[in-house]
Structures are given as structure tokens and as C-alpha cells.
Structure 1
Amino acid sequence: MAEVDLQAVLDTLVSVAFEAGRMILAANTNSISPDTKLNAVDIVTETDRAVEAHVSARLRAAYPTFAFVGEETYVAGQTRITDAPTFIVDPIDGTTNFVHAFPHACISLGLAVGRAPAVGVVYNPFLDVLYTGVRGAGSYMQRNASLPEGRGRGERVRLPLGGQSPPPLGGLSSALVSIEWGSQREGPNFELKAQAFRRLAAAREAGGGMVGGMRSLGSAALNLCACAAGQLDLYWEGGCYAWDVAAGWCILNEAGGMMVSGNPGGWETELDSRVYLAVRGASSGQKELVEEFWKVLGDGKMDYKH
């Protein structure tokens, strides 16, 4: 297969993201009746489905030979990510936020080549903030991104914010860490998460990590973008899927960040591993902070099926 023009793909994805953003903003959240998937907190709306259908049609028309994996058309045990160029899409990442009109939901559009993130576009239409990344070409954030040039559109700012010499990372006591409960609320994975959250928050005298602070944005893609921007130091997640992380992973990589396994000892993790630990770019301290975080987790390992 001929080499993929990643910049051309980015331009297409940005255009599609703005179209999807308008669809999301046009939805009346007061009249939405969400359906459930796994349980009462794993929800999907007619807007999720409509946005994915629109995105799928646009991308298949523009790139008919590329594969497509989307959250709402995923079939457990059948859908696979191969080495072929593959669009990996979450139509609304942060659906619970969306149905509550809490303005931290986004569309996440990624392209993987060789099962590795190559292009990422994450767009929050509520705040009109756009994050983009292209393998080997850096990542950027833009405010008021949908406005016309010269009429309020923000400057494309290279990530991480504050320049290309980001400050070193300290220990957990100074770290701002993002965590998510996820939709699985029972069983070993849930128990491990609950124990880990307590250990992270607990004082060192009590055997904890005394973490500086913990946040839950409710969107894996936005958590990753906040890490890429340098607004978060770490993001730990278990249970999400490739469409939650593909775009943000590319943006994180291009900002000097790194993605490792959310389970201790895994310095490499697959795109569809479902267990992740993201670290912001830093002049030093990335490896040390990862190891400190893993130490808090102890011997516990999360295990999620596909």
C-alpha cells in the first residue's frame, strides 16, 4: 500500500470533527432518553449513533480502502484492529457529561497505521477547543477553533503549553492525576480501582501515595489531551477501548508524553489493551513517576476482555 498522506487525513478529520460538533450542539439534551449497554452508567444516545453514522459515511467516501472501527458499530469478539490504515472513532466521548450538558464531551477521531496512532483529532464543541496531532509533526491546541480566521479564531498553540522544554516531573505528592471509575462497578477490576484510589489519596504514613490531587473529566480523550497540554501529570485508566484513546494517544506522543500499561511493569502497551497509564511530557522524571505510581498499585493487575 502507498504511504498514507497523514496531513491530508488530518485536514479531512478536522473538517469532519466540526460537522460532528455541530450535530452534537444541535441536540436537545433535555429531550434525550439514553439507552444502556453494560449497565445503567454505560449509556448511549441517538446522537452518538447519528454522529457515528455521519462520520463513517464521510470517511468511507474519502478513504474507501481504509478500515473503520467505531464505538457504536463495534461487535464484541469480532471487531479487530489490524495493521491496515484504520479510522478509530468515538462519536461522543463523555456521553454521561453530554446528557447532563456538562461541557466536557468531545468527538475523538484517530487514524492508526500498523496498529499505532498516526493522526489524532479531538474536538470539544461545547468549549470550541480543538486538539490535533500527526505522527512526526507535533500536536496542537486551538481555542475558538470553529470561528473564521480573523474573527476570533485562536492561534494554533503547539503542545505542551508553555513551550517545548516542559518542567520536570516530581513525585506523586506534587502530581495532578486523572482517574475514572468506568462503567464496570463490580468484580476484581472495580475492587482494584477502589483500593488504588484510596492508596493514592492516603498519607504516606498510612502507606499511601499522598497524591497532589485527583480529577475525573469523564472523557478518556480529554484526559489524554490534558496530559498532552501539561495540565495533568498522569492519567490512569482501565476498561476503556481503542476508540477512547487512539486520537488522544497520538496527540500525547507528539507532545513528548508517553503511554505505558496501567498494570505494573508494562512499559509497552497495545492500542486495544484497555489498560493505560499516560504521562505528560517532561524534561525528566517520567520513568520515576511511572514506577512510583506502579508501586502504589502493588501486585494488582486489571484484566478486561474485548
Structure 2
Amino acid sequence: MTAVDLQAVHDTLVSVAFEAGRMILAANPSSISTDTKMNAVDIVTETDQAVERMVSARLTAAYPSFAFVGEETYEAGVTRVTDVPTFIVDPIDGTTNFVHSFPNACISLGLVVDRRPAVGVVYNPFQDLLFTGIKGGGSFMQRNASLEEGKGQGARVKLPLGGASPPALGDLSSALVSIEWGSQRDGENFELKARTFRKLAAAKESGGGMVGGMRSLGSAALNLCACAAGQLDMYWEGGCYAWDVAAGWCILSEAGGRMVSGNPGAWETEVDSRVYLAVRGARSGQKELVEELWKVIGDGKMEYKH
């Protein structure tokens, strides 16, 4: 790995996250300018854009030799994640939640080095909930994170919440799995998702997975952090981008979780693959649960352009 002071980067990202959080909380979703990108459910607001401008300015000033990839400045077919240290940023992950004042949105700040997640900071300002991870240094969760120490700031709790030896994973019937519809609502990718969701929910007697439960948090970064914490067992996604997963991936990995491909059979996936399957840390059962979910997907394969 290229020599980078990951702790210093982490500290900078936490500071940036808190500033972004103040901007997000100051916005009034009912009065801000809102536009769409791909379709009516692919939303961008003036707050997304303002936060990214602030983040880009601060990180470029602090680390001028690093590359920057942000959701709002991404150019399809042009922007690439390379081997150089790169900040990968989603100014508001969960924009649909944000515009509805549903308190499940966050800023996602990741650093990848040699195309691998190295630092992750995910901050939900509505709940003042901070998740952080440093490659080789573990990952943590903190409530009331922006308050002063000794004046309400929560303890910095090492992840997963189950401790150093988290509970074993069972089969799908006992699993809590997060899914998302995404913004693409037609075509084969959408049909594969719909078939898989139905099959996951269906009884085993009718060929289903009889999954314990399915959740949609509306934010890829928060889905990954919930897996890292052990609050979710798995998260399956196709269609999101590197900025949705880079920070959460680091946090998940440092909590003993694993990221593989959302397409069956591929145990390795890239940060910009757009197809992901996350499984929480566990004493045992990761491989078996991944393979069980892949079996539900069957021969299908999601394919997304960059």
C-alpha cells in the first residue's frame, strides 16, 4: 500500500463530516431546490451540491496530490478510480430520505489506496451517529458524536457490537437482510432484483429462501455500517456506485465483515464494480450464508455501466 498517514486522513474526514452535517441540518428540505438525474427517484438537491463543493475544497487543500471522486461531479464514462490515493465522497447518501425529512441520511467519506478502501467515515447528522474505520486499526461507532467530551458525547464503541467473537451466522431463515430497489426501475437488472426479492421472501415449500426479514434503509453507506455493527446480517445491492460503498466497505472489513460480488460465484469485487454483497463479521457461517443467497439468485447476473 502507498504510504499514507491514515490516522491523519481519518481525523480530517471526521472534521469535514461534522461541518457537512451542520450544513445538512441547516437546510430546509421543503424549500431547497431539487432536481432529478436519471429519473424521478434519482434525486439531487442544492444541498448535495453545496456539501460536495465544501468537501472537495477542504480535502483538495489538505491533500493536493490525492484524487477526488464525488457523486455530484462524476462524469459517466470519464471518471475513474485509479491506483493513486483517492477520496470517494457521497455528500448526502439517502437523498430521498433527506428530502422527506426521514432521518436516515448521511455523508459518506472514503479514502481508497491502490483501489482498496483504507479509511471510512460515515456520519448521520440527524441522529448524530458516527461510524469510522481505518485499515488495520478497527472500526467504531459513536452516538452524540459531535458533542463535547464529558458533555453528552457517547462512548466510542468498537465494532461489531457483538464483541471480539460475534455470533455465528445461521441460514437465511434466521437472517436480517437489507435490500434496495435502486433508481433503475426497468430492464433485466430490475427484473432480477424483483425475482430475487420475491424468492427470498417466499416459503421454502415453494422454492423460496424464507428469509428472516428484509429491510431497506435507503442508504448504501448506512446499510454497510449496520452490517459492520452486526445489526444486519447481509446487504445485497446492484446499481450503486463507489461513493456509496467506499467508506462503509472499510468500516465493514475492519469489523470482520466481508464484501463479495452481488453476482453469484465471485468472491472478489472492486470498489467500483457496482454490484455488491456484504456479510457481517461472525465466528462462522459467512461463506455458507453467501452461497445460500447466491443460490437464491441463481444464474442471473446484474450488469451496470460506469
Pairs within 5 Å for 1:161-240: 161-240=161-240
1:45 is displaced (CA, Å) by: 0.1
- Assess if the C-alpha contact under 8 Å between 2:2 and 2:113 holds in 1: no
Counterpart residue identity of residue 241, structure 1: Y
- Assess if the C-alpha contact under 8 Å between 2:106 and 2:222 holds in 1: yes
1:34 is displaced (CA, Å) by: 1.4
C-alpha separation between the residues in 2 aligned to 1:224 and 1:137? Answer: 18
Query: Which SS does the other structure have where 1:150 is aligned?
Result: coil
Pair 1:84-2:100 in alignment: no
C-alpha separation between the residues in 2 aligned to 1:162 and 1:195? Answer: 33
Query: Which SS does the other structure have where 2:30 is aligned?
Result: helix
Counterpart residue identity of residue 12, structure 2: T
Q: RMSD of aligned C-alpha atoms? A: 0.8
C-alpha separation between the residues in 2 aligned to 1:29 and 1:160? Answer: 33
1:2 is displaced (CA, Å) by: 6.5
C-alpha separation between the residues in 2 aligned to 1:77 and 1:162? Answer: 42
Tell me the residue number matched to 1:280: 280
Aligned residues between the structures:
306
C-alpha separation between the residues in 2 aligned to 1:224 and 1:120? Answer: 11
Moved more, 277-286 or 25-34: 25-34
Tell me the residue number matched to 1:117: 117
Query: Which SS does the other structure have where 2:283 is aligned?
Result: coil
1:14 is displaced (CA, Å) by: 0.1
C-alpha separation between the residues in 1 aligned to 2:32 and 2:285? Answer: 45
Moved more, 154-163 or 29-38: 29-38
Which blocks of at least 5 consecutive residues in structure 2 are unaligned? none
Tell me the residue number matched to 1:5: 5
With normalisation by structure 1, the TM-score equals 0.99
C-alpha separation between the residues in 1 aligned to 2:48 and 2:220? Answer: 16
Deviations 1:259-296 (A, max 9, x none): 00000001000110000000000000000000000000
- Assess if the C-alpha contact under 8 Å between 2:264 and 2:295 holds in 1: yes
Query: Which SS does the other structure have where 2:284 is aligned?
Result: coil
- Assess if the C-alpha contact under 8 Å between 2:70 and 2:89 holds in 1: yes
Which blocks of at least 5 consecutive residues in structure 1 are unaligned? none
1:69 is displaced (CA, Å) by: 0.2
Moved over 6 A (4+): none
1:3 is displaced (CA, Å) by: 1.2
Q: In percent, how many aligned pairs have the same letter?
A: 83
C-alpha separation between the residues in 1 aligned to 2:152 and 2:188? Answer: 49
C-alpha separation between the residues in 2 aligned to 1:175 and 1:116? Answer: 28
Pairs within 5 Å for 1:44-83: 44-83=44-83
C-alpha separation between the residues in 2 aligned to 1:107 and 1:126? Answer: 11
C-alpha separation between the residues in 1 aligned to 2:164 and 2:10? Answer: 22
C-alpha separation between the residues in 2 aligned to 1:163 and 1:200? Answer: 29
1:57 is displaced (CA, Å) by: 0.1
C-alpha separation between the residues in 2 aligned to 1:262 and 1:4? Answer: 30
With normalisation by structure 2, the TM-score equals 0.99
